[in-house]
Amino acid sequence: MKYTDISKQRRILNKEPNNKGLIKFILLLIVLGVICASLYLFKDRIKQTFNPISIVSNVAAANIKETDGRTNILVVGSDIRNGGAESGRALTDTMIIISVGVVDNDIVMISMPRDLWIPEYQYKLNAIYEIAGIEELKNSLQEVAGIPIHYHVLVTFDLFEQVIDELEGIEINVDTVFIDAFYPIEGKENDLCGKTQEEIKKLGDDITEYDFPCRFETIKFEAGTVKMDGKTALKFARSRHGNNNENTDFARAKRQQKVIMAIKNKAMSLQTLLNPIKMKGLYDAYSSNVDTNVDFTTIESFYFLSQKLDFSKVTSVVLDDRSEANNGGLLYAPTDTTLYGNQWVLIPQTGDFSQIHAYFQKYLFGD
């Protein structure tokens, strides 16, 4: 049984989600963290590993947790950088469940909205980790998604940049030219931009990004193939306020998917796999920036499993409050936020998570 233009518009600060998202490291666990760690730790067995007969036999014996033929891994992106959080809090602003079909060899990536309200805690989803820890975050997500979570991986901004720079950059095909005039500058989140406290008080509740221009920079991406280093790719993936319809969660998810696949392609190239110095650099970045319950025995099993997966067929599922219901639009933002601590939140259209459960089941097990 299956388990159940930002242009002329003025936006009010703190009246919508802040821009602290992290690149969605979905395949990073399997491709960069898992594969690179495996290759480094088991480098003496590389030739044997790439033997198809050896792969099949090892996968058959792999000791990976699964339920109904699927292994589900929670990948959490933290805004902690260099020992401190951008917001002064260890928020988990990116939460993705990667579901791997150990029999069907497919991959489904489920993006969980950070602003989803969790009634049990009376907090948004992105605060649960700080309040109660990773196990309670997993429990909350299991309740929301209706599927078990077998493993978790917590990654940081530093890992993302280090991995791409270790790979000497990645190439991204940018579909649409866009400008984001409000990309946050790290360390400037609370800068007063020369204003006094008295001047800020006079602004009242109508404070906008325009009142604090020193907190933001303008970034622009041209259409076409662009080679990006770690910092540039991070900006491309995190941007939330671009014009040309690049300010939606759907557009951002597509950009992040491009980055993930570009990392995978570069990491799996022979130039990377046959370079011991590069492999060690990738492993060092992984081991110093990841908190996970995936032990090294399981890492080896994941590596063998990854040889079977078809990375060209990855399904990405996103929940939001603006799409049609059959495209993930199962949430809404209540205008009266009194019951939610006067925060901008997302809640299910149906009042519970049952419709969300059914939606995810469709992608995991078919209609």
Question: 322 pLDDT band (50/70/90 cuts)?
Answer: confident
CA 174, CA 226: separation in Å to the nearest integer?
A: 7
93 domain-assigned = yes
- What is the pLDDT, as a whole number, of residue 80? 57
CA 278, CA 270: separation in Å to the nearest integer?
A: 11
- Listed in sequence order, the residues at least 6 apart from 84 whose beta carbon sits closer than 8 Å to its beta carbon are none
15 domain-assigned = no
Find out whether 134 and 92 touch, Cβ atoms under 8 Å.
Answer: no
Number of residues that make up the chain? 367
1 domain-assigned = no
- The better pLDDT of the pair 354, 198 is held by 354
Q: Is the pLDDT of residue 148 over 90?
A: yes
CA 150, CA 168: separation in Å to the nearest integer?
A: 33
Find out whether 97 and 73 touch, Cβ atoms under 8 Å.
Answer: yes
Q: Tally Cβ neighbours within 10 Å of residue 143.
A: 14
- What is the pLDDT, as a whole number, of residue 90? 60
Phi then psi for 96, rounded to 5 degrees?
-125, 135
Find out whether 253 and 24 touch, Cβ atoms under 8 Å.
Answer: yes
Reported as a single tens digit per residue, the pLDDT across 26-67 is: 334 444 454 444 444 444 443 343 333 333 334 333 578 999
Reported as a single tens digit per residue, the pLDDT across 220-240 is: 999 999 999 999 998 998 898
**In 112-138, which positions are buried (b, 16+ CB within 10 angstroms) versus exposed (e)?**
bbbbbbbeeeebbbbbbbeeeebeebb
Find out whether 155 and 290 touch, Cβ atoms under 8 Å.
Answer: yes
- The better pLDDT of the pair 158, 341 is held by 341
Strands 107-112 and 314-318, how do they pair?
parallel
CA 177, CA 297: separation in Å to the nearest integer?
A: 44
Mean pLDDT of all residues in 271-284? 72
- What is the pLDDT, as a whole number, of residue 63? 75
- Strands (E) across the chain are located at 70-78, 80-81, 84-85, 92-101, 107-112, 117-118, 123-124, 151-156, 170-174, 178-184, 216-221, 224-228, 290-292, 314-318, 331-332, 347-348
Find out whether 148 and 3 touch, Cβ atoms under 8 Å.
Answer: yes
Find out whether 113 and 331 touch, Cβ atoms under 8 Å.
Answer: yes
Find out whether 215 and 189 touch, Cβ atoms under 8 Å.
Answer: yes
7 domain-assigned = no
- What is the pLDDT, as a whole number, of residue 147? 96
Domain count, the chain: 1
- What is the pLDDT, as a whole number, of residue 91? 66
Exposed/middle/buried for residue 218 (C-beta within 10 Å: 0-12, 13-18, 19+): exposed
Question: 93 pLDDT band (50/70/90 cuts)?
Answer: low
21 domain-assigned = no
- What is the pLDDT, as a whole number, of residue 43? 42
Residue type, 256: Q
* Residue 265 lies in domain: 26-365
* Chain center to CA of 269: 23
User: What CATH number is associated with residue 191?
Assistant: 3.40.630.190
Q: Tally Cβ neighbours within 10 Å of residue 190.
A: 9
45 domain-assigned = yes
Q: What angle do CA 5, 9, 15 make, to 5 degrees?
A: 105
- The better pLDDT of the pair 156, 270 is held by 156
4 domain-assigned = no
- The better pLDDT of the pair 156, 141 is held by 141
17 domain-assigned = no
